[in-house]
Amino acid sequence: MHLYELLDRFELTDGCLLAIVADNASSNYGMTQEVHSTLEASGIEWPALSNHIPCLAHVIQLALSSLMNNLGVKGPLLAIDQGNVLVVQVRLDK
């Protein structure tokens, strides 16, 4: 199915597509650029750069992974959801 047909099927060709939330994979930037080009060809302004919102959870995960790597955290993490509190157990190499 052509991208425009897919967007039209979900009624997103009338200018109501606000943004796309996705992780930071380069393919997602290419995908939003393709949506931009497709909508622009139909006379709809949809700037890809400002309408691609990187997923905040993924950004936080990348930052925490970098921090834990710098702290020397090794092995898998154990995360336990206790209601509204997330408890994370880690092992540090000394």
DSSP string, the chain: --HHHHHHHTT-SSS----EEE-S-HHHHHHHHHHHHHHHHTT----HHHHEEE-HHHHHHHHHHHHHHHHTEEEEEEEEEETTEEEEEEEE--
| pLDDT mean over 65-71 | 82
| Predicted confidence (pLDDT) per residue in 39-56, tens digit | 999 898 999 989 988 888
Do residues 28 and 52 make contact, with C-beta atoms less than 8 angstroms apart? Answer: yes
Q: Which residue has the higher pLDDT, 25 or 82?
A: 25
| pLDDT mean over 54-82 | 74
> Is the whole model's pTM more than 0.75, yes or no?
no
Check residue 75 and give its pLDDT.
Answer: 59
Nearest to 17 by CA among 40, 51, 50: 51
- How far is Cα 38 from Cα 2, in angstroms, rounded to an integer? 10
